[in-house]
Amino acid sequence: MSANQPNANVLWFLPTHGDGHYLGTSKGGREVNFNYLRQIAQAADQLGYFGVLLPTGRSCEDSWITASALAPWTERLRYLVAVRPGLQSPSVAARMTATLDRVSNGRLLINVVTGGDPVENAGDGVFLPHNERYEVTREFLDVYSGLLAGNTVNVSGKHIRIEDGRLLFPPLQRPRPPLYFGGSSDAGIDVAVDTVDKYLTWGEPPDQVRDKVERVKRAAAKRGRAISFGIRLHVIVRETSEAAWKAAEELIQYLTDDTIAAAQKIFARMDSVGQKRMSELHGGRRDKLEISPNLWAGVGLVRGGAGTALVGDPQTVAERIKEYQEIGIDSFILSGYPHLEEAYRFAELVFPLLSLAHPTGAATLRANTGPFGETIANERLPQLKAARS
């Protein structure tokens, strides 16, 4: 690992908006209930993922309630949960944050989500245009962070007014849990460099990510700040590249042209710059989905937000991750279909090839410590190495 390459934190994803074997169809769909989400969270905890991201929006189960229910079932796993400026009072959000941080023993991370779909925003009672939503985000974070730091807040802003705002019970993490934030527009970056700890990007090709990282670094430096960087990607890892690419094609094998067109129409109505950049990577076309070596945009044909996947054998996927690390990415928020199985595949196949900032659940296999591999003929323990045929 070079001096420019930070150790990585790898997070997984809780699919509270649905899961299955294939995209764009109910075939191979899987019921996502509490027990299934608990399975994924406990698997991520046991495997040694740094944390899990819970999505937010009307297509998802509520992230705060889900994280609160799952946290007691895990030990080390952190929960990246969304605050929603414009939908929540910053004072109420601060109390929720402090409470969940305490009851989870300091395992809370905060994802600041401004929202980029005007139709969904209207359904939640938010009718502000794009740049004004980021004005709200800035005012929200000033109050929210001040309260969590123990300050008494009195503010009369353009969008938010608070009198004698106080938080009686502080969070465990001081001055507050880390703030993650993604926003590709000028307005979003302007807020990020003043207010958050980690800037997130969706999985664009390395050259585009490098340009964005350098742009944000320059803007932060002008404010006298330094922030870290994360990326949101899907993964399709198999023992061979051929098997991985076959799995990628199988993932979209039931997608119809009508389904793709309907999804792209919805994405086009959004005023999110990041979503526009994702859609431009593939243009809704099936025939040009490998947009960069081993970076596949097939997920984005029908899924909003993160729409690209790293595809390949373990060594290749690890090399692609290291390329992003060289750019300055230190946090990787990953997912794959189905999420339970892919969490195991990635951890078992790729974790050993990465320099991680957090301990994993991987242990050197010793045949006298438990059942690693099925006992042979009810009597013999399996060998640690594959037998030659």
Q: 270 near 116, Cβ under 8 Å?
A: yes
Q: Amino acid letter at 54? A: L
Residue 376 has what pLDDT? Answer: 76
pLDDT of residue 347: 98
pLDDT of amino acid 322: 97
pLDDT for position 358: 87
- What is the pTM assigned to this prediction? 0.92
Residues of the chain with pLDDT under 50: 365, 389
247 Cβ contact partners less than 8 Å away, ≥ 6 residues apart: 236, 238, 311
> If you write DSSP's letter for every residue of 44-62 in order, what string do you get?
HHHHT-SEEE---STTS--
Residue-level pLDDT at 369: 57
pLDDT digits 0-9 by tens, 329-377:
999 999 999 999 999 999 999 999 999 998 887 555 455 556 667 777 7
As a whole number of angstroms, the distance between CA 321 and CA 318 comes to 5
Predicted confidence at residue 275, as pLDDT, reads: 86
- Cα pseudo-dihedral 156, 160, 166, 169, rounded to 10: -160
Q: What share of the chain is helix, strand, coil (3-state, %, to 5)?
A: 40, 20, 40
Domains in the chain, start-ordered, CATH in brackets? 9-353 (3.20.20.30)
The structure tokens listed for 307 are: 């729409």
The whole-number pLDDT of residue 278 equals 82
What does the pLDDT read at residue 371?
Answer: 61
The position carrying tokens 């070596």 is 293
Cβ-based neighbour number of residue 147 at 10 Å:
25
**Strand, helix or coil for residue 87:** coil
pLDDT at 370: 61
> What is d(CA 108, CA 80) in angstroms, rounded to the nearest whole number?
6
